[in-house]
Structure 1
Amino acid sequence: MNDRKPWAELRDEVVAHPEARDAYDAARIRYELGREVRERRVALGMTQDQLARAAGLQQPAVARFEAGGTMPTLPLLERLAAALGARLSVAFEPLDRAG
């Protein structure tokens, strides 16, 4: 007999706890921000090193950010946006439409 639960079921059980949900949401935000920066950087044909220089950062900091490893401050996001030739836009989205 196989007593193992599918990953989705295990994940749902874990994130049912409020503390885990908060951590999961924070990780999701970091990942989504990193993905947005990476996609824009690649679309512009920039390397991580080029983005880092333009934003006044070191390349490893850009790599960590793009991997979702750090929660950025608004000033950092503004620097990245400027370096990517973009404008930072922050918005509130109703929970019933959030992903």
Structure 2
Amino acid sequence: MSDRKKWDELRQEALSHPDAQEAYEATRIRYELGRTVREHREALGMSQAQLARAAGLQQPAVARFEAGGTMPTLPLLERFASALRLRLHVGFEPLDRAS
């Protein structure tokens, strides 16, 4: 048997470092926000360009956001929500319930 570690072990070891956990969490949040906007945009049958126009943005900014490439401000999230005919809701959950 080899001394090589499995991917799950390496991942867990890397995430045990506090800085890595913080970076992972920031990335997860960006990804989830982008995915949510994309899902709502697609459900409305909108293109990225249409969403961009409705939100007062350029299409590449929408693409970057949907890919998780930017951490948005609350005003930007409000612009997306309005363009998607949604109401922005921001809240807190106990860590044991968070995904």
TM tier, smaller: over 0.9
Deviation at 1:9, TM superposition (A): 1.7
Task: Mark the runs of 5 or more structure 2 residues left unpaired by the alignment.
Answer: none
Counterparts of 1:65 and 1:2, CA distance in 2: 42
Deviation at 1:50, TM superposition (A): 0.3
Pairing 1:38-49 to 2, within 5 Å after superposition? 38-49=38-49
Counterparts of 2:61 and 2:76, CA distance in 1: 11
TM-score, reference length from structure 2: 0.95
Counterparts of 1:38 and 1:70, CA distance in 2: 14
Match of 2:94 in 1: 94
Counterparts of 1:3 and 1:34, CA distance in 2: 39
Task: Mark the runs of 5 or more structure 1 residues left unpaired by the alignment.
Answer: none
Q: Deviations over 1:25-75 (max 9, x none)?
A: 000000000000000000000000000000000000000000000000000
Counterparts of 2:7 and 2:40, CA distance in 1: 31
TM-score, reference length from structure 1: 0.95
Query: What fraction of aligned residue pairs are identical, expressed as a percent?
Result: 76
